[in-house]
Structure 1
Amino acid sequence: MSGSETAPGAVAEIEGLTVSVGGRRILDGVSLRVRPGRVTALVGPSGSGKTTTGRALLGEFPAGALVSGTVRVGGERVGHVPSGPVPVGPAPVRGGPARGTAARGAPVGHVPQDPAAVLNPVRRVGALLHDIALGQVRGLPRRARRQAARARVLEAMAAAQLPDGAALVGRFPHQLSGGQQQRIVLAQALLLGARVVVADEPTTGQDALTRRRVVEELAAVAARGIGVVLLSHDLAAVRALADEVLVLRDGRVVERGPAQRVLRSPATSGTRELPPVKLALTRDTAFGAPRPDVVLRVRDLHARHPDGSEVLHVPDLALRGGECLAVLGRSGSGKTTLARCLAGLHRTYDGQVLLGPVVLPRSLRDRDRRQLAAVQYVFQDARASFDERRPLRDQVARTAVRLRGVPARDARAEASAMLGALGLSTVSADRCPGGLSGGELQRAALARALLARPRVLVCDEVTAGLDTDTRRDTLDLLDGLLRTRGDMSLVLVTHDLVAARFASRVAVLDAGEVVEQGSSAEVLTAPRHPLTAALVAASKAVPVPDAIPGPAGSSCRASEAGSA
């Protein structure tokens, strides 16, 4: 086969790809073929090389990487580096379209795990979509062209599970939840006419109802003849969607084959170590032991977008000492806005947030060092919260230096110990963020917040994007901290109902309102509100779409799915 030919029937192909960074191989001889209308899933633990493989289809590699092998899209070689390292340049500029490679009309759409990285923070989300759509209706008169472009934008947003697109196009990325941002990027890929879509953890950070819709939408994307490369820890979604599964471990493909065979009858020990589709966390007790004292309280909070529209109303919500409060709800229900109000990151609100008896300033800039340390926030978009040019350990240690006055050497030792407790090696800690996976960066963000020794730790989807073992270890660590440190409480913003079951209490948000709250056992076992009941029911299984015919000879595989 010549260097400019793709394998028959494949729209994209990776062959013998090896990627090394700093003397460590992060991919070792990886090969895969993407066929139209088929779903190829890459599974494996955090840091196994899934994201690096997916980004290779866009011709993107970590700065300073040594790369060998070939990547072909639509018959053309892309991203091939015959010799020498990938140049180390500035951080990627945000705000372009969904990144993709246009090769003979076969663009590759990319839906990243950190969607904010490809959305311009100072541009309304509808503006870029509208620009793309305008380019597709050039032959029409000006007024008709704008109307046709708007119709295409709304159609793409609906196809990406954003049926309320008309209300969202005027918002900025920070005014959307992580799940909404992710679906905006998918809408970009669909507007661009992608023939391959690389979806990196598309069900991460999604509520159970939206996760079901994402499964259905990706099945429909494949049914249009688009090749889908699914990178995921969500084995229920993989089992529902995938035609072929590749299992990666330490940068190598340890097993590949039809999805049902690989997941039901794995041939290698590396695959047999994958968690079952049903998520089984080996915990049998709730987090911590709450005390009667109130550490944090929200009173009559009305949060608004800059345009004045109200996004959240919380009449009263209290967090007790040593307690874990889980905040549940659908994507866009106001969970992240509540978390950002607590942390001083969303200041356009009326009402009060109190730390003990003291009213906290609305803005982070107006809080003193003690208040900053007392309420720490772990971002859902971990990558965007780190400086791409500085080693991870230094950034984590900086928290102890700045907020607690710890000497730099001692702070680095504390950072190493905390990163190690969260499963990050010394080698990983010495890398810049670009050399780590999304799951590794989430754990680093948690370590950074913990070094402030906060009284209140606000975690926004801290278990999202982690494999089951790491998720369990993270929950165990948080539980241990609540039990051993009597001065810390936890607000767990999550879509993970398995994690929420170990919280002391649960508050459920819907359309910016608290619709139900109580003990986790009461709320999740006998929910009173219809939304809570729907979330609990949807979390028990990822519904599987019927077999959807794609191009001749292909189909989107349908199978039973276990618990999500």
Structure 2
Amino acid sequence: MTDPLVTVDGLRVEVAGRLLVDGVSLRVHPGKVTALLGASGSGKTTTGLALLGEYPDGAVVTGRIEVPTGAVGYIPQQPAAALNPARRVGALLRDVARLRAGGPADVREALRRAQLDDPDGVLRRYPHQLSGGQQQRVVLAQALLLGARVIVADELTTGQDPLTKRRIVDELSSVVRHGIGVLLLSHDLDVVRELADEVVVLRDGRVVGAGPADQILHAHEGGLLRAPATAPPRTAERTRPVLVVEALDAAHPGGVRVLHRIGLDVSPGECLALLGRSGSGKTTLGRCVAGLHSRHQGVVSLDGRPLAPSLRDRSRHDLAAVQYVFQDARASFDEYRPVLDQVARAAVRLRGTSRGEATRLARQLLVELGLPVASAARRPAGLSGGELQRAALARALAASPRVMVCDEITSGLDVRTRYAVLDLLAALRERSDLALVLITHDHAAARALADRVVVLEHGRIIDEGPTARVLGDARHGATRRELPFGDHEESAVGGYRTGEHQRKA
């Protein structure tokens, strides 16, 4: 085997007496993929950022790290953090291309390799006008333009639809065939099986398994990595809807139309899953419901009463009644205030709860979601992406909503935490008649929680109905493409589950 591009020996990172990483060692070789697996908060992202020389404030670091100078690209779990919100995507990518004497042709090629449809439209938009999946692929295009010899991919397939996952697997396979080394931080075991040559498993900042991918996955998936058994969801009784959307059209600035005559409803205690490829309009639809996207026509009603298009014009009661949990949890928190205080503030601001009672409620919700109060007492920078996602869910629940829109909330969580969150949501909607709108690419989540499914493509509803029918029969071609790997016969053509990936052939 060739000499490694990256060598990490005995990495130890301590912040305020807390060990984030304790004695981690790994190697990344040219043309190979090393996968780093572990639960949220296990130290994956801290280890990955160490390759760039980035550590939390006040960190005490020991150990040895050797990387190629200036040749490490990083693709973060939350892609918006790597994009300048004030500049159009085209300007961002052209600046990156010029660093290596590239031009417009190089930008277009990077977008193509990153599997971005409609490159002209993407180049004209600002980052906030893109879906989370589109943002992720723009960041991948940046890394390709920089020509890095090593890429740290932090949950690269998180929040991506199955077809895009297959394309990303193909793209990363192409990257490693050109001699680039990849450190893949991931919860996605199917992607790890396809791509990884070596696997390192972390638990509480320590390595608990390392070696060839097949060997390590076989040894650990029965415990740390396998999803627990979960009871099938109950079917909610269809009653008078609490949320109704009628003839909804929506556009981005500049007149780009993203939703076309959307109609749907959700009853108390019911979960409706919105499925569709990145850019299909799922997030825009959810934001219209929550008053976060006011450029729309049509009606969004709560209990038969139309809601104002913009949250700025909604009453405190209406703001509390419809809560939105963002895919990018980190960006939704004030980086300078403790997370616990921010969760409690939702009850104070939206329900008029006293500060003491709100703090007690916040602690209770955080513990139920598996986030220790000691962790929540830190600022957001001291929490992992998965921990912040749980805190964001607790903050929404603190408002006692009637409707909760969850935008890819399970995408950044490890398998066990993902199912714990789903179980909690299922219990909440049964106990409180909470209506859920679940925006997701996670078909296991939809099957475990959703009563009905709506499938979007190009801003239009192309399929809808009971979960078992839509995800089981998949009569519409686009719905079939949206199914997870191995769920339909086309997966054999895609080669995702069947046989070895072409890179390993």
TM category, shorter = over 0.9
Partner SS state of residue 274, structure 1: helix
Q: State the TM-score, normalizing by the size of structure 2.
A: 0.95
Runs of 5+ in structure 2 lacking a partner?
A: none
Partner SS state of residue 531, structure 1: helix
Aligned mate of 1:127, from 70, 75, 91: 91
Aligned mate of 1:17, from 7, 11, 14: 11
Q: For the Cα contact (< 8 Å) 1:216–1:544, is it kept in 2?
A: no
Match for residue 435 of structure 2?
A: 489
Partner SS state of residue 294, structure 1: coil
Match for residue 50 of structure 1?
A: 44
Written as runs of structure 1 = structure 2, the 5 A alignment for 1:411-422 is 411-422=358-369
Partner SS state of residue 427, structure 1: helix
C-alpha spacing 1:535/1:391, structure 2 compared with 1 (3 Å): same
Amino acid at match of 2:223: E
Whole-Å separation in 1 of the counterparts to 2:276 and 2:323: 22
| Residue 235 (str. 1) matches residue 185 (str. 2) | no
Match for residue 54 of structure 2?
A: 60
| Residue 511 (str. 1) matches residue 458 (str. 2) | yes
Match for residue 316 of structure 1?
A: 263
Written as runs of structure 1 = structure 2, the 5 A alignment for 1:252-291 is 252-266=206-220, 272-276=222-226, 280=227, 282-287=229-234, 289-291=236-238
Q: For the Cα contact (< 8 Å) 1:424–1:440, is it kept in 2?
A: yes
Partner SS state of residue 197, structure 1: strand
Deviation at 1:282, TM superposition (A): 2.1
Match for residue 304 of structure 1?
A: 251
Aligned mate of 2:324, from 361, 374, 377: 377
Written as runs of structure 1 = structure 2, the 5 A alignment for 1:68-217 is 68-74=62-68, 103=69, 106-137=70-101, 149-217=103-171
Moved more, 41-50 or 531-540: 531-540
Runs of 5+ in structure 1 lacking a partner?
A: 1-6, 75-102, 138-147, 549-555, 559-564
Q: For the Cα contact (< 8 Å) 1:242–1:557, is it kept in 2?
A: no
C-alpha spacing 1:341/1:283, structure 2 compared with 1 (3 Å): same
Whole-Å separation in 1 of the counterparts to 2:269 and 2:237: 5
Deviation at 1:331, TM superposition (A): 0.8
Aligned mate of 1:445, from 392, 404, 407: 392
Deviations 1:328-356 (A, max 9, x none): 00111000000110111111111111112
Q: State the TM-score, normalizing by the size of structure 1.
A: 0.85
| Residue 36 (str. 1) matches residue 35 (str. 2) | no
Amino acid at match of 1:455: R
Amino acid at match of 1:496: D
Moved more, 532-541 or 475-484: 532-541
Amino acid at match of 1:318: D
| Residue 479 (str. 1) matches residue 426 (str. 2) | yes
Partner SS state of residue 124, structure 2: coil
Deviation at 1:298, TM superposition (A): 0.9
Amino acid at match of 1:110: Y
Whole-Å separation in 1 of the counterparts to 2:50 and 2:310: 40
Deviation at 1:164, TM superposition (A): 2.3
Whole-Å separation in 2 of the counterparts to 1:252 and 1:311: 45
Q: For the Cα contact (< 8 Å) 1:326–1:506, is it kept in 2?
A: yes
C-alpha spacing 1:287/1:218, structure 2 compared with 1 (3 Å): farther
| Residue 221 (str. 1) matches residue 175 (str. 2) | yes
Match for residue 444 of structure 2?
A: 498
Deviations 1:163-199 (A, max 9, x none): 4212210011111111110110010011011111000
Written as runs of structure 1 = structure 2, the 5 A alignment for 1:336-485 is 336-485=283-432
Deviation at 1:528, TM superposition (A): 2.2
Deviation at 1:315, TM superposition (A): 3.4
Whole-Å separation in 1 of the counterparts to 2:57 and 2:316: 35
Whole-Å separation in 1 of the counterparts to 2:311 and 2:498: 44
Amino acid at match of 1:229: L
Deviations 1:69-117 (A, max 9, x none): 232212xxxxxxxxxxxxxxxxxxxxxxxxxxxx1xx511111000001
C-alpha spacing 1:509/1:364, structure 2 compared with 1 (3 Å): same
Amino acid at match of 1:256: A
Deviation at 1:547, TM superposition (A): 5.9
More helix by proportion, 1 or 2? 2
Match for residue 85 of structure 1?
A: none
Residue correspondences, number: 497
Q: For the Cα contact (< 8 Å) 1:287–1:323, is it kept in 2?
A: no
Written as runs of structure 1 = structure 2, the 5 A alignment for 1:328-343 is 328-343=275-290
Whole-Å separation in 2 of the counterparts to 1:419 and 1:322: 22
Deviation at 1:436, TM superposition (A): 1.0
Whole-Å separation in 2 of the counterparts to 1:172 and 1:544: 39
Match for residue 82 of structure 1?
A: none
Whole-Å separation in 1 of the counterparts to 2:446 and 2:403: 17
**Paired-residue identity, %:** 57
Partner SS state of residue 448, structure 1: helix
C-alpha spacing 1:8/1:207, structure 2 compared with 1 (3 Å): closer
Deviation at 1:366, TM superposition (A): 0.9
